[in-house]
A and B are shown apart, each in its own frame.
Chain A
Amino acid sequence: MIILLLVISVIGFIYRSWFTAFPLSSGDWPYLFIENIKEFSWLPEIRFLWLSPYYQILTKIVVQYVGVSWATTEKIFWFFPFIILSFFSSYRLTKSALGALIYTTNTYALMIVGGGQMGVAMAYAVAPLVLKRFIFQSSIFKSVLITGAILAIQVMLDPRIAILTLVASILYYVFKLREIPLLPIGTSIGIAAFLNLYWIVPLLRSQTSIAQQLGEATVGSVNFLSFATFEQTISLLHPNWPENIFGKVHFMQPEFLFIPIIAFLSLLIAKKSRTVLYFSFLALLGAFLAKGANPPFSEVYVWLFDHVPGFILFRDPSKFYLYPALAFSILIPITIQRRRGSKIFPLFFLLLWSFILREALLGKLTGTFRPMPMPAEYVKLKDFLNPQPQVFQTLWIPQRQRFGFSSKLHPSIDAQLLFKQSSISGMIQLVTTEKTQKELTAMQVKYVIVPYDSRGELFLTDRKYDETLYFDTIHNLSVIPWLHKIDSFSHIGVFEIQ
């Protein structure tokens, strides 16, 4: 009981920054104005893919009709459920508070929620429950229905994580030398597939979307997205830990190696258990695949990507961190709790875990773990743009800030995409030409906007916020004769095209 309370305290302390009134928009997680939500259709929109019912329709009901703010809705339906589901489902699988702690607070889990990948995170949270239901699949019809419904929810949140969970379930039967209960498992998968037809059918019919997805899924993209090294994946250490800056890979932190040491010790403690063998294999398989095209045997992942049907869904190999996370949340408690009733080892592990995750406990994580108030000026900008009845676009240099308003009537364009330029100076150089003025007018661009980079994500030099870039951009646009600066905004540079 003491361990359970301590575990809950550690989890609560790590996620404490989410208990705030500020919006958690960061990384991939958006900020939605009510005007944006009002534009959501009642039918699933293909732009939201599988997430439509939960992200689109539920948000529309709760924000537009019930009147709950987005900042509250995101917490009630995404962030708090992640903590609760992740803890509950991993506790159900592992029957251990330590197992739930490992699954809910490992660096992979923290980095995906910190980066705002909440669909992936929620599917990850449900995975232990799905795995448990499949490996103890009952043939009772009610149970098959419930399993199918839970799998359907996981597929709706992220089908890739659902596929990995199913593969792990099948592997369990292979390890246990048990016959796979094809009928109940097949029925559950059928139910899940049927309930997800709302996105499967439109996606199959929409050739452009699939072509786009396939176009992005190249061996080059696999090589690019293979950030983690094998020592990191086997230690359940996310390569971006703790800063979570995309592409910035940190050196190996050796203290994380205590995690696989404790986990694989279970092979000596419970050496006759096929469950331990299965989860050890799952950890090794996941660690090997999560490193993607990195050594050792870097060509294996590329071969799988090229030859195994469906593997193109895993151009980002980090999804395979699911397996070490699942495995270690089972194996570590087996090692630690070998002596039932002894509290010394669990307490020692809690201390070790707290030391390993010290950045999280000290509040040094970024992204959704660093909520900030939305600058009032962005509401002012929305109130300035939204009432204008005519159709026009806004051009954001270098790109739209997360609180920047964009709607179907007034869509935004990111200069870095339009000009295919990564440097702000290159964008400015192109904007100053007369040809660009004509092109922008033809594209119905009415305003050129330089965002107020309140989160320090856009004006970067060596991945760090650089205010001089912001001031230079404002200054360089101010001297363009065909741009008229609107003075009612202080931090956001709004220029009307004359």
Chain B
Amino acid sequence: MSVAPPRPMPVPMTVVTGFLGSGKTTLIANLLRRPELSRTAVIINEFGEIGLDHELIESSEEDLVELSTGCLCCVMRGDLTNAVRRLMDKRAEGRGFERIVLETTGLADPAPIVHAAIADPALRALVRLDRVAVTVDALTALTSLDAHEESRSQVAQADVLLITKTDLGDDDVGALLERTARINPDAAMHFPVRGEIEPAVIIGGNSRSTGPFETGSERAPQGEGNSGNYGLTLRRSEGSSRRALPDHHGHHHHHGHGPDEITSVSLRLETPIPAVALTLFLQALAETMGPDLLRLKGIVEVAEAPDTPAVVHGVRHVFHPMRWLDDWPGGSRDSRLVLIGKRISGPWVRALLETITEEVAEASGQ
């Protein structure tokens, strides 16, 4: 009589979500450099035709799955199960990862993903949801929380809130902390600087739905009405409040439908862009689109430095200084730009860039 091989234990999975440009990729990239997380497989879900985030995360190809054909929370939950299954097959073949980190799109409502991880038998057999970590951009989150239901849902579903970019602005984050505390008073709160955080913040031995866990050194708001008291340490107890998961059939997503809904535009550029033209392009784009530009990211061949691709990041009107990579990731030297926002037209963006590039060439006598 043959005996069925024992089923492998479900692997702990941390969901890292957060609104567009709030620092998810930076956080994960930094965490993966830590020895404690060396045995981690990563699933990246991106919004847009051209995936870029996977290029910025150093991980072996075998331990990284990119899902860029849609948003997991909308249409790709089956794809998530398949992605996890592919990873688990590799694990059975000897890939020794012991946890999974899933980076969602910046527009994902994590609720359906959490629901699938808890309730979908196929997925539950493969993974055990560890926790939901949500990055919150200290510079732009108040606006995002006002304007985007997805952002509010992300905060509401968080086990851990990671308030990013507090080192970049002079603004008091008190209003933001009050706001997040009203949405989710139970979440532990941390303040990573440049994506640096202790791994224990986003991984742990405990399932999201069972058992208390110590949150150590975090500062945690104590709920609406106590917003000034951020110095206390929160200890979550079993049975602490969890927001109800929405009924899947009642779950609506608006990004991608209708003229005022959020869409993405992806550009591949065949020729290098002069640094001045790139800067003028970013300025014209942000100025013309105003609040409708939510996110811009890209890997660009700058004409003056063709061997060191520039990573461009903008969140709303805030642009970060270009970061230079040592080499072209993935072997392709094409410049790639992804813009996410409302009423963006790909031809318009391309025409703007081409026009500015020509103007710069004309002004420089080329």
Chain A partners chain B: no
